[in-house]
Amino acid sequence: MAWIQKQIRLPAFNRGFHLVTREVISELPELSQIEVGIMHVFIMHTSASLSINENADPDVPVDLEMAFNTIAPESLPYVHTCEGPDDMPAHVKASMIGNSLSIPISGGRLCLGIWQGIYLCEHRNRAGGRRLVVTIQGESSQ
């Protein structure tokens, strides 16, 4: 049984939903050695989240951003406002979407559907880079 854990730093992204599947996989050359296992991805922030969603149509991230801005608008009478009007809505969105993903691994590859990708959901207007902790557990092919 192999265990691999590392931190991945993603660059700063604008507010919105951003496919980061390639960025994550490129930091994990060890993935190709896992015959069967699971990859857990955890974001170390409270104003961004992770999701798996459609990776083909560029309208999907636009519509996701619009929907979540409608659900948690900046115009609500939030009490926690010391970090700006986008901060508390960012916490609400991150709580709704979640801070981690678990993805099966088979034959050295993530078992994502053909139209699925890993999204960084950036909920702040001017956030910095984001840190992920990736933990892989599985049977090595070697």
* Percentage of the chain exceeding pLDDT 70: 100
pLDDT digits (tens, 9 = 90+) for 93-133: 999 999 999 999 999 999 999 999 999 999 999 999 999 99
What are the helix (H) ranges across the chain? 21-26, 59-71, 87-97
Q: Rounded to an integer, what is the distance from CA 31 to the centroid of its chain?
A: 18
pLDDT at 1: 87
Angle between helices 87-97 and 59-71 (to 10 degrees): 110
pLDDT at res. 141: 78
Mean per-residue pLDDT, 66-90: 97
Please give the mean pLDDT across all residues of the chain. Answer: 97
Please determine, for residue 142, whether its predicted confidence score (pLDDT) is greater than 80.
Answer: no
Rg value, the chain, Cα? 16
Q: For residue 66, what pLDDT is reported? A: 98
pLDDT tens for 32-62 read 999 999 999 999 999 999 999 999 999 999 9
pTM attached to this predicted model = 0.95
Position 83, amino acid: E
Q: Measured over all CA atoms, what is the biggest interatomic distance in the chain, rounded to whole angstroms?
A: 57
| Between residues 1 and 50, the one the model is more confident about | 50
* Count, residues in the chain: 142
